[in-house]
Amino acid sequence: MSQAFAVIREAMKKKGMVAIGRLVMSTRERVCAIEIEEDGLVLTTLRTAEEVRTLDEIGHSDLPKPDSQMLDIAEKIVAQQSGEFDASEFNDRYEDALRDLIE
């Protein structure tokens, strides 16, 4: 890590702060947050106010109360399917298909 990043990271850590910035990604400017994670920095893109809608704008769905037996079954399925997340197990299928098409 360069000296400049090390100094900024330590100052942020000392103050308990998160940096807010801007970057261009996919020909679009994005707002981002830069947080300290262990010995590094993590960048997360954020949504702008125009991209966030309130619940009133979306509307509330009137879901029925779940049947207790069905809920028990669903909880067992969730428990069986739960596990550690490994990002290496996922790939961009669209990009893979596009690359295959180009080749």
Residue 57 inside a domain? The answer is no
Whether residue 94 lies inside any domain: the answer is no
Report how far residue 36's alpha carbon sits from residue 19's, in angstroms, rounded to the nearest whole number.
9
| pLDDT tens per residue across span 16-53 | 999 999 999 888 899 999 999 888 889 999 998 888 98
The residue range of the domain holding 10 is 1-49
Residue 1 lies in a domain: yes
Number of structural domains in the chain: 1
Model confidence pLDDT, tens digit, residues 77-103: 999 999 888 888 888 888 889 999 999
Structure tokens at 64: 């029925």
- Mind giving me the DSSP string for 36-50? EETTEEEEEEE--GG
Do the domain assignments include residue 103? no
Three-class DSSP category at 49: helix
Q: pTM of the entire structure?
A: 0.55
Among 40, 41, 45, residue whose Cα is nearest residue 24: 45
